[in-house]
Amino acid sequence: MKNGVHIIFHIDFNAFFCAVAEIYNPALRNTAFAIGRENSNYGVISTCSYEARKYGIHSGMPLAIAFKKLKTLNVISLPYDYYLKYHYKFIELLKEYSNLIEIGSIDEAYIDVTELAKTRHPLVIAKEIQTRLLTNYHLPCSIGIATTLFLAKMASDLQKPLGLTVLRNKDVKKMLYPKSVKDIFGIGKKTYPKLEEIGILTIGDFLNPDNKNKVLEILSIERYNEVVDKFNAHSRNTILPLHKEDNLSISTMSTYDRRIVGEEEALYELSVLTKDIYKRLKKEKYLTKTVTITLRNIDFNTITRSKTLTNYTDDYNEIFNVVSDLLEDNYHNEALRLLGVGFNNLINKNLIVEEEYNLFNALNKSEKEEVINDIMVNFKEKYGNKALYYAREKKTLFD
């Protein structure tokens, strides 16, 4: 948009795997059931219905414990292709509204409706998408609407199931600060308990400047600044179109004869796979913007999780840090039989567009600050102190 404001939806299905199971077996609706290993007390729950959650059952819980909470819990398993079928239906529906779609995982996606919102109100668009998914496919979802991908993701989590939440930049403090620190998207399941131990209990506590030194006991200054920037709407607000010709991908998977158990062993195997396709990335002179991992447990339950970076990269450490974060956030110590790593949104290193490689991603942080400061000083010396100012955004849905 001319004024730089984007209207981003994050569409997140509510208990997607359970919803698909109910499509194939309507008798499951309004009952307590879980997705996992059928006819067994071994393994863990992938997800469960809202009725099962009322008994304290949740994803990642060992089946043996779940059955202690509810002896009559119904545990089912479906082929992964069943879920993919409805994922593709979901994406095809979104294409009717915009070609700027970014897949977060099999059960979530981001869509930029900035252009469509010039002629239709964003809330009307969101409600229509939500209603069509529920009416046509029996898939309930929550939708967050914001100016950046991060804030849209945070907004979609505020009301579930079937929520519809607009998060204006000016409302971040009121709507998000009271939430638990564990609700910060991407903070990591191992990190938030450490924050809680030192008294950082809410998002407001985390963002309070008086607590900065305490938080830095747990997080690096780079990670801290990144999170603060995200809550201040200073994070990614652009989406790569699905139809880009250079939206290529490479991936590799490995099925193991033995069980892979424990985060340390899983991370080692993922490092082997990452190094394997990283060699291809470098050899073919590609940069990647999205990193994906695939985990399949011994019950053949499969999850695929991705993270899209701010800029294209071929830096191994940056890529593997994403792999590590994705594993930490999505692995629940179940036994695995298959692991996979993929690089998506590839672009040839020699063809990268100018705006993706500029002053702000060509330099490191300290160099950026020096360059920007020099530019501002020279500009003001030449044109006066009032020559530089912050432009005001036009009034939009987010004002």
State the Cα–Cα distance between residues 19 and 322, nearest whole angstrom.
Answer: 29
Active site residue 265: no
Closest C-alpha among 282, 272, 230, 229 to residue 252: 272
Rounded Cα distance between 291 and 157, Å, is 23
Q: Which two tokens stand for residue 216?
A: 């830095």
Q: Rg of the Cα trace of the chain?
A: 22
Name every residue whose Cβ is closer than 8 Å to that of residue 97 and which is 6 or more positions away in sequence.
Answer: 111, 113, 116, 125, 129
Under 8 Å between Cβ of 326 and 305: yes
Characterise 272 by phi-psi region: left (phi > 0), alpha (psi -120 to 50), beta (else). alpha
Q: Report which of 47, 312, 14, 15 is spatially closest to residue 142, judged by C-alpha positions.
A: 14
Helix/strand number for the chain, H first, E second:
15, 12
First to last CA, the chain: 15
Q: Which one, of 130, 90, 83, 127, lies nearest residue 108 by Cα?
A: 90
On the 0-12 / 13-18 / 19+ scale of CB atoms within 10 A, 190 is exposed
Element (H, E) at 222: helix 221-231
Measure the CA–CA gap between 395 and 300, rounded to whole angstroms.
50
- The residues that bridge with 255 in the sheet, in sequence order, are 338
What's at 239, amino acid-wise? I
- The Cα–Cα gap between 132 and 138 comes to 9
CB 155 within 8 A of CB 185: no
- Are the CB atoms for 144 and 167 separated by under 8 Å? yes
Q: Tokens standing for 278?
A: 């990283």
Q: Give the position of tokens 């036009």.
A: 394
Catalytic one among 96, 108, 128, 222?
Answer: 108
Answer for the pair 149, 110: CB distance below 8 angstroms, yes or no. yes
Active site residues: 108
